[in-house]
Amino acid sequence: MTNACLAAKERWARKMSGLAKPAARATDRLPPGQHEVHEFPVLDLGVQPRIPLDKWELAIRGLVANPVTLNWAQFMALPQFKDVSDVHCVTTWSLFDVAWEGVAFFTLAELVKRKPEAAYVLFKSYDGYSTNSPLAVCLDDDVLIAHTWKGEPLPVEHGGPARVIIPKRYAWKGAKWVREIVFLEHDQPGHWEQRGYSNTADPWTEDRFAPGGAIPAGWRVTGEA
């Protein structure tokens, strides 16, 4: 197990045992170039897929020992986690204190037993969207596959039945209507990453776009993960 994975596992044990204190939130929470909004805007590719719960599936596969395809009941039977986090969109809005509930990415990574060579993750969605992040980023405590927002089922327009949130990255890194989570050895750019958005997407350094819109050398843009 890598150090990042081990550290995540130890944090998770503390959290589930009730010993962890809530993460301290920075007093200056607005990243550079952002402004605060009080309503939750909706952004998509012009399609909002409607997936009935009895048809919903989440496949977790790639470089894992135990690939699984979860149905809704199986997904909901996993350990559930509540968190409050901020959303930062590359189009400059930030929404504070969003109350989410869902399954931690970490729990899914444990379930499928990722192989040591897995270093990147590609998320694929029911609307054809995709987005990628390093595994270490996905293992952060606040990364969830969320199905509940403000105590209610996540509305379709925000990615229900279930969406990914990666609060410390710009919001396009969180796949709404998530359908597949693929563990990869090499990074593979998703929808916006192929169209000039930054691969790393760190709001605190205004890491919005890739220099010149260039796709980093060595990226496989074609071919399905």
Ligand X SMILES: Nc1nc2c(c(=O)[nH]1)N[C@H]1C(S)=C(S)[C@@H](COP(=O)(O)O)O[C@H]1N2
| Distance, CA of 29 to CA of 10 (rounded, Å) | 27
What is the binding site for ligand X (CB under 6 A)? 40-45, 89, 125, 127, 129, 158-159, 171-172, 174-177
Could you tell me how many residues of this chain bind Mo ion (CB under 5 A)? 4
Three-state DSSP class for 51? coil
Torsions phi, psi of 135, nearest 5?
-55, -40
Give the residue with the Cβ less far from ligand X, 4 or 30: 30
| In the complex, minimum distance from the CB of residue 208 to Mo ion, in angstroms, rounded to a whole number | 10
**144: number of CA atoms within 13 Å, CB side?**
26
Distance CA 1, CA 115 (A): 9
Q: Residue 204 and residue 24: Cα distance in Å, rounded?
A: 17
* Contact window for Mo ion (CB under 5 A) among 31-39, 85-93, 183-191, 211-219: 85-93
- In a 10 Å sphere around its CB, with 0-12 CB exposed, 13-18 middle and 19+ buried, how is residue 218 labelled? exposed
Nearer to ligand X, 33 or 79 (CB): 33
Instruction: Quote the least distance from Cβ 142 to ligand X, whole Å.
Output: 16
Strand extents, DSSP E, 105-208? 120-125, 130-134, 144-149, 152-153, 163-165, 178-184
Contacts of 202 (CB under 8 A, 6+ apart): 168, 169, 170
Verify binding: residue 56, Mo ion, rule CB under 5 A.
Answer: no
Q: How far is the CB of 136 from ligand X (least distance, A)?
A: 21
Q: How far is the CB of 129 from ligand X (least distance, A)?
A: 3
Residue (114 or 169) nearer to ligand X, CB: 169
| Least distance CB 202 / ligand X (angstroms) | 15
Q: How far is the CB of 13 from Mo ion (least distance, A)?
A: 34
Q: With respect to ligand X, which residue has the nearer C-beta, 44 or 207?
A: 44
Of 90 and 135, the one with the shorter C-beta distance to Mo ion is 90
Angle between helix 3-16 and 105-112 (nearest 10): 120
Asked if 89 is part of the footprint of Mo ion (rule: CB under 5 A), the reply reads yes
From the list 8-16, 19-27, 84-92, 177-185, the region that binds Mo ion by CB under 5 A is 84-92
Q: Is 172 in the site for Mo ion (CB under 5 A)?
A: yes
Of residues 90 and 144, the one with the C-beta less far from Mo ion: 90
Q: Which does 42 bind (CB under 5 to 8 A by kind): Mo ion, ligand X, none?
A: ligand X
Strands 163-165 vs 144-149: parallel, antiparallel or unpaired? antiparallel
First to last CA, the chain: 23
Catalog residues that contact Mo ion under the rule CB under 5 A: 43, 89-90, 172
